[in-house]
Structure 1
Amino acid sequence: MITEILLPLALAFIMFAMGLTLRPGDFALVFTRPKAMALGLLAQMVGLPAVAVAVIWLFRLPPDFAVGLLILAACPGGITSNLLTHLAGGATALAVSLTAITSVAGAVSVPFLVNLALVQVGGQGGTTDLPVARMTIGVFAIATLPLIVAMIVNAKAPQGAARLEKLARPVATALFALIVAGAFVSQWRVMWEHAADVLPPALAVNAGALAVAWGIGRLGRLERRERLAVILEAGLQNGALGIFIAATLLASPAMMVPSIVYALVMNVTALAIIAWVRIGRKEKGGVSPAFPE
């Protein structure tokens, strides 16, 4: 009942709450800041999965954990990424736009990458046994559709959406924490027995994603606020969606372990980045250095 009903409903509400902060105009950044958007999408949708593949090869992860890590890497940005970007002094509009695009595109990109992982890493030799249609429909219905509906509500009634968002965001954040905590408790024994197998790779993927995003932003000569937004978007994933895919769509508790661990790791590193930026801002007399040149 939990994974089949409560988890999908909670995730749908989280995505709806996220959508209340988005407007169709957020996609205009694709045209007004095309380089920043392109580099952000490159870091999020190409760089992160590439890092995950490299980590899987380096650590020789068991198939279930390897697929679970790739599921997490395929997911779009998390619900807290925009808020943490704002707190860090990053380009919030860019972060919001990246979240919107990756979340909408996730209806196609996530099932594609996950099924590719099942075939190439999970040891399933053919696509006939894979839940391609079910996964595509599930991701769209639970993650993408609520986001689109909320965006329409925001476009039609922005004042009402703003009031609703003030109530929905803390509930959504609490639901995200409950999903991660509940999954953590349910898989405590597996994580305890395989801590050495999962924690170092999760840390490596997170650190690698942050480093790749920083490198892309640096080479692309993004201004510091944009670079910070790209870094946080690449490092903060929608762990709740990863748990939903593994537990509900694939019925594999082992595959959701990497999403649980990563959800804990990513928030620690994100808070460390924010602390670093704020300390640097104070030392510079209120001018945020974001990240070193």
Structure 2
Amino acid sequence: MDSALTTIGLPLALGIIMFGLGLDLTIADFKRIGRNPKAVAIALACQLLLLPAVCFGLVLAFDLPALLAIGMLLLAASPGGTTANLFSHLFRGDVALNISLTAINSIISIVTLPLITNLAIDHYDKGDSISMPIGEVVQVFAIVLIPVGIGMLVRDRKPSFAAAMDKPVRVASAIILAALVLAILVDQRDNVVDYLGDVGLVAALFCAISLLTGYFVPRAFGVIERQAIASSMEIGVHNGTLAIFVAVEILESTEASVPAAVYSIVMFVLATLWGLTLVRLLRRDEPVSAPTARG
């Protein structure tokens, strides 16, 4: 991939997206985690424990090539992002829960992302020099957390500006992600058909399972509807930009970034279809008001 994209484009894209997240965050969002531990704990358990195990089962079942399998597990270990918040907002989810989950999971992922990815690398070890040192991962998350902190500071000092910038930054984030996905696919154009054949079905299945798990597991434990929708979007809509950045910059493998690029396309389609389905179900279940008695 072009060096300008990897050295300038990817960090800039990640910074803009995480700055956008920071514009939605306040200290109160972190306090909300303590006031609502049940929904947060269930969603994090699904995202950090259950889904990586499901992803590993899928890459084994479909016998993916090593770098594509590592890329899938890197994706599974990546937290949700601002796109998850947007989907949650569109489909009546609890956006405040999304923001809290994204914030806490981004911090937890400093440990879990390299742990899961290194386990995948060890499993598929073929004597390659690919590694994921903790020190470099901390540097990556500095790129993530510093823009979030700046965004929070802007919101605290200039709330009207933060509110005005919210929509433009979200739109810019979506455009940037789309551009990165396109760049990955163009860079790998000679192999893209093979990659889609190799990883497209796995990515689609993983996305569908993530969305369904994120909704039905919390509901089974008594979490309310809006929070279950938020959990579904948080778990099903991963931070593809971060996964692409780690694959290209740390693992130094464009091939390992392909699953995140493919998933980023698939998740937009599946999350939209799932969100529309949930909205229809909610409307169907809403009680019909009794007719007003007349004279």
From 118, 139, 147, give the equivalent of 1:115.
Answer: 118
In structure 2, what is the equivalent of residue 291 of structure 1?
A: none
Residues 38-95 of structure 1: CA distance to partner in whole angstroms, max 9, x if unpaired? 0111112222211111111211111101100011111110221111111111122111
**Offset of 1:188 from its aligned partner?**
2.5
Extract unaligned runs of 5+ from structure 1: 288-293
Report matched runs for 1:6-45 at 5 Å.
Answer: 6-45=9-48
Extract unaligned runs of 5+ from structure 2: 289-295
From 93, 96, 99, give the equivalent of 2:96.
Answer: 93
Residues 215-261 of structure 1: CA distance to partner in whole angstroms, max 9, x if unpaired? 42133111111111111111000011111111122110110110011
Instruction: Tell whether the 8 Å contact from 2:22 to 2:149 is kept in structure 1 after alignment.
Output: yes
Aligned-partner residue type, residue 31 of structure 2: A
Instruction: Tell whether the 8 Å contact from 1:29 to 1:37 is kept in structure 2 after alignment.
Output: no
Instruction: Tell whether the 8 Å contact from 1:106 to 1:139 is kept in structure 2 after alignment.
Output: no
- Identity across aligned pairs (percent)? 35
Aligned partners of 2:54, 2:222: CA distance in 1, in Å?
A: 22
Report matched runs for 1:1-293 at 5 Å.
Answer: 1-123=4-126, 130-284=131-285
The structure with more radius of gyration: 2
- The range that moved more, 20-29 or 111-120, is 111-120
Instruction: Give TM-score, length-normalised by structure 1.
Output: 0.89
Secondary structure class of the residue paired with 2:190: helix
Aligned partners of 1:123, 1:286: CA distance in 2, in Å?
A: 59
Call closer, same or farther: CA 1:165–1:214 in 2, change over 3 Å.
Answer: closer
Secondary structure class of the residue paired with 1:89: coil
- The range that moved more, 157-166 or 223-232, is 157-166
Aligned partners of 1:198, 1:28: CA distance in 2, in Å?
A: 39
Instruction: Tell whether the 8 Å contact from 2:21 to 2:99 is kept in structure 1 after alignment.
Output: no
Instruction: Tell whether the 8 Å contact from 1:79 to 1:173 is kept in structure 2 after alignment.
Output: no
Instruction: Tell whether the 8 Å contact from 1:81 to 1:232 is kept in structure 2 after alignment.
Output: yes
Aligned partners of 1:214, 1:168: CA distance in 2, in Å?
A: 27
Secondary structure class of the residue paired with 1:85: helix
Instruction: Tell whether the 8 Å contact from 1:138 to 1:249 is kept in structure 2 after alignment.
Output: no
Call closer, same or farther: CA 1:208–1:282 in 2, change over 3 Å.
Answer: closer
Aligned partners of 1:170, 1:115: CA distance in 2, in Å?
A: 34
Number of residues paired by the alignment? 285
Aligned-partner residue type, residue 12 of structure 2: L
Aligned-partner residue type, residue 74 of structure 1: A
Aligned partners of 1:119, 1:144: CA distance in 2, in Å?
A: 28
Aligned-partner residue type, residue 109 of structure 1: T
Instruction: Tell whether the 8 Å contact from 2:195 to 2:258 is kept in structure 1 after alignment.
Output: no
Aligned partners of 1:191, 1:233: CA distance in 2, in Å?
A: 28
Call closer, same or farther: CA 1:151–1:285 in 2, change over 3 Å.
Answer: same
Call closer, same or farther: CA 1:160–1:280 in 2, change over 3 Å.
Answer: same
CA RMSD in angstroms, aligned pairs only = 2.1
